[in-house]
Amino acid sequence: MADSSLSKEQGLALLKRLAQDDGFRAHYEQKPAEALHQLGVPAEQIVRLPGRCICPGKIASKQAMEQARQRLEANLDTAALSFVVPDPKL
C-alpha cells in the first residue's frame, strides 16, 4: 500500500493548532493519529501515513511550529509534507 501524505491545507491546519493550542499539542504528543482525526484528516488517510509520522513523542516548540507554518504558507516547505523518498530509475 502506498504511503499517504497530508495536503498543504491539512499541514497548515496541523501546524496552526500545534503553534497555538496547548491541549491539542498534548493530545498530539500522546496520540498523533487521534489528534489528526480530530483535526479532520480521514481515518483512511491516517492509517496510510508512514509510521514515523504518527508515533507518539515530544514535538517542537510552539514557536518552531509557527515558523514552519509560515514557511509552508509561503510555499517553501510543500515537499516536506509528502514524506516521499525519491526513487530515481537509472
pLDDT for 49-66, tens place per residue? 998 888 999 999 999 999
pTM: 0.78
d(C-alpha 45, C-alpha 13), whole Å: 16
Share above pLDDT 70 across residues of the chain, in percent, rounded to a whole number: 81
Amino acid, single-letter form, for residue 25: R
pLDDT digits (tens, 9 = 90+) for 22-47: 999 999 999 999 999 999 999 999 99
